[in-house]
Amino acid sequence: MAKRLSSKPTVYLIDGSNFVMRFGEKPFNIAEEEFTVWLASALETDTLCLAEFRVVFDGPCRRERTVCPGITVHYTDSEPADNYIVETGAYLTGSHIRTVVVSSDNGLLERAQADNVLILRCEAFLKMVQGEINKNIR
CATH number at residue 110: 3.40.50.1010
Is 50 a domain residue? yes
- What is the rounded distance in angstroms from the CA atom of residue 119 to the CA atom of residue 125? 10
Percentage of the chain modeled with pLDDT above 70 = 87
Predicted pLDDT at 28: 44
What is residue 14's DSSP assignment?
A: E
The whole-chain average pLDDT of the chain stands at 87
What is residue 7's DSSP assignment?
A: S
pLDDT tens, residue by residue, 97-108: 999 999 999 999
Is 4 a domain residue? no
Is 3 a domain residue? no
Which residue did the predictor score with more confidence, 57 or 109? 109
- Is residue 127 pLDDT above 70, yes or no? yes
Determine how many CB atoms are found less than 10 A away from the CB of residue 108.
Answer: 23
Is 58 a domain residue? yes
Is 69 a domain residue? yes
The domain in which residue 115 lies consists of 11-137
CB 100 within 8 A of CB 128: no
pTM of the model: 0.89
